[in-house]
Amino acid sequence: MTTVLLVRHGLTAMTGPVLAGWTPGVHLNERGREQAEALAGRLGPLELDAIVSSPLERCQETAAAIARGRAVSVETDDRFGECGYGDWTGRPLKELAKEPLWQVVQAHPSAAVFPGGEALADTQSRAVRAVRDWNERLGEKATYLVCSHGDVIKAIVADALGLHLDQFQRITADPASLTVIRYTPLRPFLLRSNDVGGDVGNLVPPSEVPEHKDGGENSTGSDAAVGGGPGTT
């Protein structure tokens, strides 16, 4: 079972009012740096086999905060980069909400192709392929972290849940949030979604968790417990 920690970058001056996209030179602001440091502290108990990041500065800086003091360095994979918003890049969201394409992005994102940019379906395809490649590269016992962007993370989660891309707007990925997916031979499991605080003890791989006396995880030979299972408490 490979565990993937998906982290959205911390806040920047453009996060929220403007669609930053691939705009160069967008760095974490003071609050974003605080968020990255806080998340790095929360993740301290977890051993990470790799830390992978989008090439954009705000992700690189968030990933660097998490990598500090660890034996792993940040690796870059362009496939985790932001969606290519094309001509929409750098424009205010209030302005973009008046565009006819905005409603397509909201209600039928699988059909959305940004002018001069990328289709959201292509964003999902490259990001999911990247996750699968890293899973294979690192192995079934690995736990690794990917620092990426909101729409990219939402697209990966939709795939893991077996949701059509048209449902991905129902998923949220806030700045500096933690989303965790565990990939098993049968199916992915969403362990956390848009987590912005709390202990991470239950993310220790199951093989390292003592088996529940009444029959816990893996006690039935299946990766999914009937009735929900006892958890890791």
CA distance 57 to 26: 6
Q: What is the pLDDT of residue 200?
A: 76
Q: What is the pLDDT of residue 202?
A: 66
Strands 50-53 and 143-148: parallel
CA dihedral (193, 196, 202, 204) positive or negative: positive
CA distance 103 to 181: 29
Confidence of residue 198 (pLDDT cuts 50, 70, 90): confident
CA distance 140 to 128: 17
Structure token pair of residue 80: 């985790």
pLDDT at 112 over 50: yes
Query: For residue range 141-191, what is the model confidence (pLDDT) as tens digits?
Result: 999 999 999 999 999 999 999 999 999 999 999 999 999 999 999 999 999
CA distance 146 to 80: 8
* Host H or E run for residue 32: helix 30-42
Q: Chain-centre distance of CA 2, in angstroms?
A: 14
Q: Chain-centre distance of CA 31, in angstroms?
A: 20
Residues in the chain: 233
The residue assigned the tokens 């816990």 is 216
Count of beta carbons in the 10 Å neighbourhood of residue 224: 12
Longest pairwise C-alpha distance within the chain: 58
Structure token pair of residue 87: 């001509």
Which residue in 110, 97, 222 sits closest to 155, CA to CA?
110
In DSSP terms, 210 is beta-bridged to none
pTM score: 0.88
The residue assigned the tokens 């490649």 is 133
Query: For residue range 136-155, what is the model confidence (pLDDT) as tens digits?
Result: 999 999 999 999 999 999 99
